[in-house]
């Protein structure tokens, strides 16, 4: 059955891995599942055909046979559950890997998104200059806690899992801010994720779309 995902017709970052189809592409590459991509323009995101798939008018979505999903957490979890390679077989290890997926999305990503919002969407507001350092410090707190748990391990809990895929995906959005490099062990963790052949294939495919 063909898997089809949606991605930006033109990503604002020029296809450098920051848009969220990257994590879905990466998951599919890790489990060795081929997929097709339907490119969507910004206006088309808010049209009925796309809203029927994604109630918030965003990318990415995932379709396979009669299943349609939105939200990268749900999509990556579904891929990890259905195909071999992203979740350990042991039930407890599996539960911990899933916990790291939630931690990435619910605990680490929110302040990172706040920083993006402060810089990009609210960049011209009078409070932005004062707000950015506060948000940046909240991110630094999370990074310190995460680095304390990771120590010098390669991955968060044993072998690479969907938890690492999600955590690396969330953290790499920090690189342009310089905050990631303040924490060398996490910068190295992200670099290990990006060095995986599956990530490289996902990145190259997204870049190709945006440089066509
Ligand atoms: N919670 C949802 C999920 O995880 O799937 C969030 C999905 C989401 O934010 N999608 C964004 C989108 O469709 C694209 S990824 N936005 C259009 C809209 O809301 O109208 C966010 C994103 C976009 C571009 C860059 N970039 O170019 O730097 C970075 C991140």
- What are the residues whose beta carbons fall under 8 Å from the beta carbon of 50, sequence distance 6 or more? 6, 40, 44, 57, 61
Measured CA to CA, the distance from residue 120 to residue 180 in angstroms comes to 18
Query: Can you spell out the DSSP letters for 63-98?
Result: EETTEEEESHHHHHHHHHHHSTTSS-SSHHHHHHHH
Kindly give the interhelix angle for 184-195 and 128-150, rounded to the nearest 10 degrees: 80
Banded pLDDT at 1 (limits 50, 70, 90):
confident
Q: Between 29 and 176, where is the model more confident?
A: 29
Measured CA to CA, the distance from residue 150 to residue 143 in angstroms comes to 10
Question: Which residue from 55, 59, 104 has its CB within 8 A of the most atoms of ligand 1, so it is best to mutate?
Answer: 59
Locus of tokens 């957490």 = 73
Residues in contact with ligand 1 (CB, 6 Å cut-off): 11-13, 18-20, 45, 57-59, 71-72
Domains of the chain, earliest start first: 3-86+198-210 (3.40.30.10), 91-196 (1.20.1050.10)
Kindly report the average pLDDT of the chain as a whole number. Answer: 97
Q: 69 is written with which tokens?
A: 């999903």
pLDDT at residue 155, as a whole number: 98
pLDDT at residue 89, as a whole number: 97
Work out the average pLDDT over 143-156: 98
Work out the average pLDDT over 84-91: 98
Nearest atom, ligand 1, residue 71 CA: 5
- Reported as a single tens digit per residue, the pLDDT across 188-205 is 999 999 999 999 999 999
Work out the average pLDDT over 147-168: 98
């Amino acid at each position: 059955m063909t898997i089809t995902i949606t991605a930006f017709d033109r990503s604002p970052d020029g296809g450098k891995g920051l848009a969220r189809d990257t994590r879905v592409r990466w998951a599919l590459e890790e489990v060795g599942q081929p997929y097709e991509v339907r490119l969507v323009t910004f206006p088309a995101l808010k049209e009925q055909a796309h809203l029927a798939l994604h109630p918030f008018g965003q990318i990415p979505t995932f379709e396979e046979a009669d299943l349609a999903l939105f939200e990268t957490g749900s999509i990556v979890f579904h891929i990890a559950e259905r195909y071999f390679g992203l979740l350990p077989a042991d039930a407890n290890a599996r539960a911990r890997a899933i916990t790291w997926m939630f931690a990435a999305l619910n605990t680490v990503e929110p302040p990172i998104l706040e920083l993006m919002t402060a810089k990009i969407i609210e960049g011209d507001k009078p409070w932005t200059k004062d707000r950015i350092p506060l948000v940046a410090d909240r991110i630094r707190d999370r990074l310190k806690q995460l680095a304390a748990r990771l120590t010098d391990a390669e991955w968060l809990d044993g072998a690479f899992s969907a938890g690492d895929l999600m955590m690396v995906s969330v953290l790499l959005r920090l690189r342009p801010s310089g905050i990631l490099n303040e924490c060398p062990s996490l910068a190295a963790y992200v670099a290990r994720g990006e060095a995986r052949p599956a990530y490289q294939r996902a990145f190259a495919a997204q870049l190709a779309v945006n440089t066509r």
